[in-house]
A and B are shown apart, each in its own frame.
Chain A
């Protein structure tokens, strides 16, 4: 092998080397160490001592921690389906020959682009105050004011609504996918006498299942790690109804500096997310339709 081919063989490796270094230092090393921490009783200001599964046993025996896991499940499995069906519904309507698609798309997308910011969390707290805008509008329709943030069910729904309001990115993805469905299929179906609704369920939805799958996986991963909403808007309360797992990790790690415990909780969450993702990937062959060998 002469010098030129040797160089040619390795230049690609050289180009991606920085990424490998970053991966090792900022991803792999932390990933492995958090697993190790999770088997230790490790407070940042004391030395660590190995306690095996001690942290995990404590988690399973702790009602408050288990409540955080239950609330997180509830939160993710309520928010994601609502958000995605709403996103799909709006994308479906926008896909008809609508004048001003761009205008509507923008209006629907702005909340998503600003969604992660603290400003929006501030706004949300104002909207759902007992004397806030939501109750004022409800009052116009004769609905009695509801203490959203002071009630555990209410506070939970305030966060859910905040995220449903930000359905913009999955909607944009759905819209792009709907545009990709060939018009001939619809024409053929109308000739065969299929109505709009049947076309939707028998053509459109099956053809965009890859995108539904993609949105579902990514949104579920996001929602299981929800932090900003509960941290800023409801501060985990009332009665810990919005203390989701990430918030618990944060409190353990950066308020009480129990790094071992925080890592164990994070790892448990990680295992749950991975299991769900794996289940979804396996379930793909029963409901996700790939038009050619292009599928993953």
Chain B
């Protein structure tokens, strides 16, 4: 076997693997889209994902929601805490990272060690006392337990990400600005923030995804149906469905992930860069 042939065979083999794995990865999602347009009797009768006689009944029933509250209503509930959370996370993480990366102060090393150690602090030990704390504050059954910690840079991962990035940016511009009489906040706003844009974008994107996918938080803290985010509402509908309206549940699930999909496709590269940067440096 010559080198040339061998090389070609290798390449073919590689594409075959990639394609095969790709199909396994994506097929369930395609099936989900197709099945949401199928009649209930068809869903469990064929392997294909193209509906024979497409119906919108799943979407119509799914959109109707629960007791007059449409599916859109529950999706808006999700945004009611996701959007503030994203904004507060970006603001607080940037300011904290600025403090760590650009200033010297007593106890900085210690503070940084504490910051790093919270990255490894499992949420599971915190759930019970946090619940009791929020209960005492009277915050249960509101979105406050989900939003307020993000005002205080609660997701340390993002602070760490920003610090790492800031360390790579030369300080000369800021020094020049300082000489020209720029204050600390002016330097942050006019010099740091523009340079940090890519990292800020990936912070916002990841927080958007994580917060909208968050299931346990709302499950513990929110208990009125009218305040349910779409994730909890979905799970409620799934359990209530004893077995007939499959296309409805699938259609609802699909509508619920549309915002995440749109955001992902709009900003794919930011996601991939964000993960790669965090991982390699971290």
B124 within 8 A of A: yes
B29 engages A110 (CB within 8 Å): yes
B125 engages A123 (CB within 8 Å): no
Binds B, one of A56-64, A148-156, A263-271: A263-271
B222 within 8 A of A: no
Binds A, one of B50-58, B63-71, B166-174, B248-256: B248-256
- CB within 8 Å of A: which B237-272 residues: 238, 246, 249-250, 253-254, 256-257, 260-261, 264, 268, 271-272
- CB within 8 Å of B: which A17-32 residues: 18-23, 25-27, 29-31
A33 engages B132 (CB within 8 Å): yes
B275 within 8 A of A: yes
Cβ–Cβ < 8 Å partners of B215 in chain A:
116-118, 227-228, 231-232
B220 within 8 A of A: yes
A106 engages B268 (CB within 8 Å): yes
* Option from A93, A113, A175, A214 in Cβ contact (under 8 Å) with B14: A93
A272's closest neighbor in chain B, by CB? B122
Docked pose: A146 CA to B271 CA in angstroms: 38
A118 engages B32 (CB within 8 Å): no
* Option from B104, B118, B232, B261 in Cβ contact (under 8 Å) with A9: B104
B152 engages A119 (CB within 8 Å): no
Cβ–Cβ < 8 Å partners of B275 in chain A:
169, 172-173, 176
B92 within 8 A of A: yes
Cβ–Cβ < 8 Å partners of A9 in chain B:
104-106
Q: B-facing mask of A194-238, CB < 8 A → 1, else 0?
A: 000000000000000001001100000100110110011000000
Quote the shortest CB–CB distance from B133 to chain A (angstroms): 6
Docked pose: A283 CA to B123 CA in angstroms: 25
A135's closest neighbor in chain B, by CB? B44
Cβ–Cβ < 8 Å partners of B165 in chain A:
none
B103 engages A15 (CB within 8 Å): yes
A165 engages B124 (CB within 8 Å): no
Quote the shortest CB–CB distance from A170 to chain B (angstroms): 8
A30 engages B272 (CB within 8 Å): no
A113 engages B253 (CB within 8 Å): no
Cβ–Cβ < 8 Å partners of A3 in chain B:
none
The prevalent SS among residues of A at the interface is helix
B28 engages A34 (CB within 8 Å): no
* Option from A19, A110, A119 in Cβ contact (under 8 Å) with B96: A19
Cβ–Cβ < 8 Å partners of B194 in chain A:
none
A75 within 8 A of B: no
Task: From known contacts A122-B249, A180-B280, infer whether A266 and B124 are also in contact, taking CB-CB under 8 Å.
Answer: yes
B236's closest neighbor in chain A, by CB? A118
* Option from B21, B220, B232, B264 in Cβ contact (under 8 Å) with A113: B264
Cβ–Cβ < 8 Å partners of B210 in chain A:
116
* Option from A111, A119, A175, A263 in Cβ contact (under 8 Å) with B234: A119
A225 engages B123 (CB within 8 Å): yes
B111 within 8 A of A: yes
Between A18, A37, A117, A269, the greatest number of chain B beta carbons within 10 A of the residue's beta carbon is seen for: A117
A51 within 8 A of B: no
A211 engages B280 (CB within 8 Å): yes
Docked pose: A270 CA to B120 CA in angstroms: 10
- Number of inter-chain CB pairs below 8 Å: 259
B122 engages A270 (CB within 8 Å): yes
- CB within 8 Å of B: which A39-82 residues: 44
B130 engages A110 (CB within 8 Å): no
- CB within 8 Å of A: which B119-156 residues: 120-133, 149, 151-154, 156
A246 within 8 A of B: yes
A13 engages B279 (CB within 8 Å): no
Between B125, B231, B238, the greatest number of chain A beta carbons within 10 A of the residue's beta carbon is seen for: B125
* Option from B21, B104, B159, B280 in Cβ contact (under 8 Å) with A108: B21
B118 engages A23 (CB within 8 Å): yes
A262 engages B272 (CB within 8 Å): no
Cβ–Cβ < 8 Å partners of A15 in chain B:
95-96, 98-99, 103
Q: A27-B126, A224-B122 are in contact. List 18 more A-B contacts (CB 8 A).
A: A11-B184, A13-B103, A21-B152, A25-B152, A27-B154, A31-B125, A33-B132, A34-B128, A44-B132, A109-B271, A117-B260, A120-B257, A122-B253, A126-B35, A169-B275, A172-B276, A180-B280, A274-B120
**Can you pick out 22 interface pairs between chain A and chain B where the beta carbons lie within 8 Å of each other?**
A13-B106, A14-B99, A18-B153, A19-B153, A21-B152, A22-B152, A25-B133, A26-B149, A44-B132, A93-B17, A96-B11, A98-B14, A110-B264, A114-B213, A117-B257, A119-B234, A123-B253, A126-B43, A165-B28, A177-B280, A215-B279, A246-B124
Q: Which A residues contact B (CB, under 8 angstroms)?
A: 8-16, 18-23, 25-27, 29-31, 33-34, 37, 44, 90, 93-94, 96, 98, 104-111, 113-123, 125-127, 129, 131-133, 136-137, 140, 165, 169-170, 172-173, 175-177, 180, 211, 214-215, 221, 224-225, 227-228, 231-232, 245-246, 249-250, 253-254, 259, 262-263, 266-267, 269-270, 273-274, 277
